[in-house]
Chains A and B, each alone.
Chain A
Amino acid sequence: GAVVSQHPSWVICKSGTSVKIECRSLDFQATTMFWYRQFPKQSLMLMATSNEGSKATYEQGVEKDKFLINHASLTLSTLTVTSAHPEDSSFYICSARGFGQGARNEQFFGPGTRLTVL
């Protein structure tokens, strides 16, 4: 199947700083990318959907000014957590959907990024 990577795999930062997480589709063109957040012992919660070249659509209750999403190319989306606080500590997972070898218009997930805010 298609491969999605995330960087970094884990990050620790101080409260008040901003953190950028990258999501890349390695062998297909991702027309749509999704960002999820997962707290311990809970299911994945969809935060936002982004289509290449256009603004992201945020789910209800997700602050778009706090979680900045950029999807500037067909292989890269970034999530920036601005002015992070301890309650933003979570497991952030991206997924991508598109076309190309192995993609089949299915949704494939990255390995996740563990964010810890001190």
Chain B
Amino acid sequence: DAKTTQPPSMDCAEGRAANLPCNHSTISGNEYVYWYRQIHSQGPQYIIHGLKNNETNEMASLIITEDRKSSTLILPHATLRDTAVYYCIVIQNQGGKLIFGQGTELSVKP
């Protein structure tokens, strides 16, 4: 499975959009990009995933570049409850194992 690179930490003002980048330059054609987040002392929570096209759901939007070598998770209106570690994971198919990297620790500040 392709490796991902994320910034270790980011800050965001409450109410503003949070844009979390992820590099996956070695991604192959059949690999999906998944995003999970983990709030302190809880299990990870699924956010969104995509293959090629941009995706949007009630939680977030996922923008994948045309060459698929990077993506951005967008939380449109961040709240204090969005403070968490966000993990970008690339897996070969929807049946692959989720291997977690270090993620990005997002702090939403009032």
Taking Cβ atoms with an 8 Å cutoff, the residues of A that contact B are: 1, 4, 6, 32, 34, 36, 43-46, 49, 91, 93, 95, 97, 105-112, 114
Contacts and interface: CB of A to CB of B under 8 A. Distances in A.
Contact of B45 (A43, A44, A45, A109): A109
Nearest to A108: B46
A97 B43 contact: no
Contacts of A91: 41
A107 B103 contact: no
Q: Which applies to chain B's interface (DSSP): helix, strand, loop or mixed?
A: loop
B101 interface: yes
B101 A109 contact: no
B109 to A, nearest CB: 21
A46 B95 CA distance: 15
A43 B98 contact: no
Contact of A93 (B43, B49, B99, B101): B43
Contact of B43 (A43, A46, A106, A112): A112
Nearest to A9: B41
A110 B38 CA distance: 11
Contact of A97 (B49, B87, B95, B100): B95
Given A46-B97, A95-B43, A111-B43, 12 more contacts: A1-B46, A4-B43, A6-B43, A46-B100, A93-B44, A95-B44, A95-B98, A105-B95, A106-B94, A110-B43, A111-B42, A112-B43
Interface of B: 36, 38, 41-46, 49, 87, 94-95, 97-103
Contacts of B98: 34, 46, 95, 107
Contacts of A110: 43
Contact of A44 (B41, B49, B95, B100): B100
Q: Which of B36, B44, B99, B100 has the most CB of A within 10 A?
A: B44
Contact of A43 (B42, B49, B94, B101): B101
A106 B49 CA distance: 10
